Structure 1
Amino acid sequence: MMHNEMSRRRLLGLGAGLGAATALSLAGCGGGKDATQAGNGGKDYTGPKVDLKLWNGFTGGDGDIFKALVDKFNSEHANIALAVTTFKWDDYYTKLPGAVSSGNGPDIAVMHMDHLATNAARQVIIPLDDVAKALGLSEADFAPTVWKGGLYQDKRYGIPLDMHPLGFYYNKAVLQKAGLDPAKPPTTKDDFTAALTELKKSGVQGFWVSPFQFTGGMTFYSLVHQFGGSVFDAEGAKATFNADPAVEACTWLTDLIKAGHSPANVGQDADYLALKGGKNAFNWNGIWQINDLKKSPEVQWGVAPLPQIGSKPAAWANSHNFTIVKQRANDANKVSAAKVFINWLSEHSLDWAKGGQVPARKTVREGAGFTALTDISSLAPELEYAAFPPAAPGVEDVMTTFYDAFQQAVLGKKTPKQALDDGVAKADKQLADNRKKYGS
């Protein structure tokens, strides 16, 4: 298994670690003078030398690029020494709350957008409104959904670094062998269905439906929104993924298996490995796979925005955010220096994009440098209709229930309607528990 895609399986952290850490009492952390307003919001740092710890989950090729950027930052800032510790994402989200509670947490933490509210509610991270204000950052500088996703109870806890959507990968050699134009991947439901029919005639099951969150669950999430549905209601109080649009989306995927366009019981990551091995033609997967495919020159591949199967375009996406971690003993110098790093790397997000991410800052995203990264920038248009996981406390566990319900349907253990009904019943209980737990 290639380490890049295997590690990225943890993109959402799967919620298990945070759920297990619910009992932690973090409210007592950070005694003494409030350090959240330390410094000038990241413009510069002129204090004494400080050592900072940063935790992240970049275990793939993106980790090498991230560390190189940290080295560059350290070389340019004599009074700030930043040390990086990297965990697998699921281990990372398990370790962080306990480390903060015991006083052994990092100063800076990279966090996915859908984990911000939970960690803010648990007082693992501190507000960053002054950073946004001092740097003149506003919603206009980012995709609106990403910017709003950093808010919890009207305070900002995350500064967005990037966005990573799902993309449509296709094997050109397989398409050509089936008599299809490798330069024109399908963009509509009819095109997609017609291509699968031709592929089947040539002996290829064109689109393998994975029962796992990575990547079948994210494909289903995209399709729920494409068919006009949603996972939760507007208030985030009720699960809605058993409504007609979601059932239609789930049925469309399970029907592909029944029609012989996908094997049953596809293994974890087997859909992607089949694409690379020429055993299928199409794979919906994360933007992070671009760099992995570049390591396989023997594979003739392309990438494009997801086809529109439903009534409107939509694609699953998430975002990495920078956060500052709450400490037992506040150190205004460390907080001030941490803000300087967050600002610096945000401004250098074009370099970070080479790791397989779309820069969060609009000015960087629209610049010639990013456009020159043709494969990665080809997915940037999806940000106009990206469907980000909801940013609400405890949502990680509820999303796991959503993915588990989908898995039951894909494995044929339940009909799509029954699987989603059962999932919603469990999800509604989780949402009610979260309201009690987090007081919102």
Structure 2
Amino acid sequence: MRITRWARVVAVGALALGLVACAGQGTPQQSGSTEPTGGTSAQPQPSSSGPITLQFWHGMTGPDGPAVQQVIDDFNASQSEIVIKPNIMPWDQLYQKLLTSVTSADGPQIIAMDASRVPQYAGTGALATTDDFFADTTYVDTSVLPAAAVNASKFKGTNYGIPFNLAPMMLYYNKDLFSAAGLDPEKPPTTWDEFTQMAAKLTVDQNGDGKPEQYAIALADHETVPMYQPFMWNNGGGVVSEDGTTSIVAEPASLEALDFWVKQVRDNKVSPIGLAGADADKLFQTGKAAMEIVGPWMTNGFTEAGINFGLARPFAGPTGQDTLMNVVTFTLNAKITDEQRKAAYTFFSYWNSVDSQVTWADGSGFPPSRTDIPADKLKNQYSATFGQKELLDNSRVLLAGVPNAGTITDEIFYPALQKVLNGKGSVEEVFQAASKDIQAQIDKG
């Protein structure tokens, strides 16, 4: 299942990265201390009334669900002090119920959520901090976790999550279409310049009506895993500064990247205008687009469609080759007790162990959350491909820790992008105005 197809998800699909605006800020209120205490890493002892039971909400309702359940079953069978009790529901339903549920006495202790949602809930005081988990190295060696995955759940310098799963994007390319265009099917583009050269051969308008029968790439411009934003990163720009305080979408490097890709789509017609994420998937899946940048959740669908595809790191820009990473994180209810926190940390440590991550990766097709698991230890070839250390080390999370990230993406950035793609204003004038709106959302918090 896609726990983030920004509006249709994860995504990795049905988790729409349709993010929700920050509902407020403040210091989380919780019953248990957030500071490390002596013996924190010790396995909790069962109370006189039996083992500690932790309610765990997650939205992995797709083909990846059984892999999650297998690790939970293995954990529950491995000891008798803690029982993880999952409650599985669609992601949109989970988010609708969450704020009221965490304030009730019988609410979940552990909640999985897209990391981009953390500011919304942390800002209301609904989540407990997890800094002490990372401070205690007996739980997990943080050096084996991708920094982007760890930092994705930070808000105002405090961490509120533990990596649950991650999904870097890769370039899928149709080897048969490359061959038909006279291109080497084992050599996809590695730079913007190479893309431009190959795209001219892969964009086919047989009748000259201005509407290609085959496109070089499927680039969605709304309800999608962000595609244009990483292009901006790789030209030295972006949407928001790394510290999350300033809009940089109208800075020269950002505008230059946007102008380049808008011209590729609008003028060179390398992709249709107006694609949602699902449309982009379908275009590639039906052999009408030679390339798409998307996550591991599409490997099965493309394979079942009979597409002879290859996978590669997305092509580099003038200044870098970072790719987008989607991260789902474990979070804790702010009302969690010290005893429950220790039990949850024991489970998180188990989840991020080598054996559990192999079980998860082999069963889901997602990469492990650890960078120290060799490819030959994984049975699923796609888990190994998406788990390459070089790829994970050069992945970033969009708008991590930024309040109102959903509003910035869905209500400001995408409408501005669609406006310029449709020729209703220049990149500079449209995104200068968008930058002011983005800054207002940042300042609003």
Q: Does 1:398 align with 2:408?
A: yes
Residue 53 to residue 346, structure 1, CA distance change in 2 (3 Å): same
Distance 1:42 1:259, change over 3 A: same
Q: What is the count of residue pairs matched by the alignment?
A: 422
Task: Check if 1:206 corresponds to 2:208.
Answer: no
Kindly state the Cα deviation for residue 63 of structure 1 after the two structures are TM-superposed. 1.9
Quote the residue 1:254 is aligned against: 262
Which protein is richer in helix relative to its size?
1
Taking the aligned partners of 1:202 and 1:306, their CA distance within structure 2 comes to 25
Q: 1:409 aligned to 401, 420, 430, which one? A: 420
Aligned to 1:378: 385
Once the two structures are superposed, the pairs formed by residues 6-405 of structure 1 within 5 Å of their partners are 6-8=8-10, 9=13, 11=15, 13-16=17-20, 18-19=21-22, 22=23, 30-31=30-31, 34=33, 40-47=39-46, 48-132=50-134, 133=136, 135=138, 137=140, 139-201=142-204, 203=206, 204-215=214-225, 218-257=226-265, 258-296=267-305, 298-327=306-335, 330-347=336-353, 348-354=356-362, 355-364=364-373, 366=374, 368-370=376-378, 373-379=380-386, 380=388, 381-392=390-401, 394-396=403-405, 397-400=407-410, 401-405=412-416
Question: 1:164 touches 1:286 (CA, 8 Å); kept in 2?
Answer: yes
CA distance in 2 between counterparts of 1:402 and 1:235 reads 19
| Residue 24 to residue 311, structure 1, CA distance change in 2 (3 Å) | closer
CA spacing shift, 1:339–1:3, aligned 2, 3 Å:
closer
- Structure 1 residue 349, shift from structure 2 partner: 1.6
Tell me how far apart the structure 1 counterparts of residues 423 and 320 of structure 2 sit (CA, whole Å): 28
Closer, same or farther in 2 for the Cα pair 1:342/1:267, shift >3 Å?
Answer: closer
- Secondary structure of the 1:319 match is strand
Contact 1:178/1:202 (CA < 8 Å) preserved in 2? no
Q: How far 1:345 sits from its partner (Å)?
A: 0.9
Instruction: Tell me how far 1:315 sits from its aligned partner.
Output: 1.1
2:402–2:442 contact (8 Å) kept in structure 1: no
Question: Deviation at 1:181?
Answer: 2.0
Shift of 1:65: 1.4
3-state DSSP of counterpart to 2:169: strand
Give the secondary-structure state (helix, strand or coil) at the position aligned to 1:232. coil
Taking the aligned partners of 1:46 and 1:429, their CA distance within structure 2 comes to 49
Letter in 1 for 2:237: G
Q: 2-side partners of 1:46 and 1:291: how far apart?
A: 42
TM-score under structure 1 normalisation? 0.85
Identity across aligned pairs (percent)? 21
Distance 1:362 1:260 in 2: 38
- What is the Cα deviation at residue 284 of structure 1? 0.9
Task: Write the deviation string for residues 97-126 of structure 1: whole angstroms up to 9, x where unpaired.
Answer: 222124443111113333334433322221
Letter in 1 for 2:393: E
Alpha-carbon spacing, 1:93–1:220, altered in 2? closer, same or farther (3 Å):
same
> How far off is 1:222 after superposition?
0.9
Alignment CA distance shift 1:404-1:101 (3 Å): farther
The Cα RMSD (Å) is 3.0
Deviations 1:304-337 (A, max 9, x none): 110114332121113222222122xx54443332
What SS does the aligned partner of 2:102 have? helix
**Match of 2:426, as an amino acid?**
T
Q: Closer, same or farther in 2 for the Cα pair 1:393/1:277, shift >3 Å? A: closer
Gaps of 5+ in 1: 435-440
Structure 1 position 174, deviation (Å): 1.8
**TM-score, with normalisation over the residues of structure 2?**
0.84
- Name the residue aligned to 1:437: none
Secondary structure at the residue paired with 2:272? coil
Structure 2: gaps of 5 or more residues: 207-213
- Code of the residue aligned with 1:346 in structure 2: it is N
Question: CA-to-partner distance for each residue in 1:343-385, whole Å, 9 max, x for gaps?
Answer: 1111112222232333232333x46414x64433334322222
Shift of 1:227: 0.9
* Structure-1 separation of matches of 2:34 and 2:272: 56
For the structure 1 residues 185 and 35, does the alpha-carbon distance in structure 2 shift closer, same or farther, using more than 3 Å as the test? closer
Distance, in Å, in 2 between the alignment partners of 1:148 and 1:331 is 24
Aligned-partner residue type, residue 170 of structure 1: Y
2:209 corresponds to? none
Separation in 1 of the partners of 2:310 and 2:33? Answer: 51
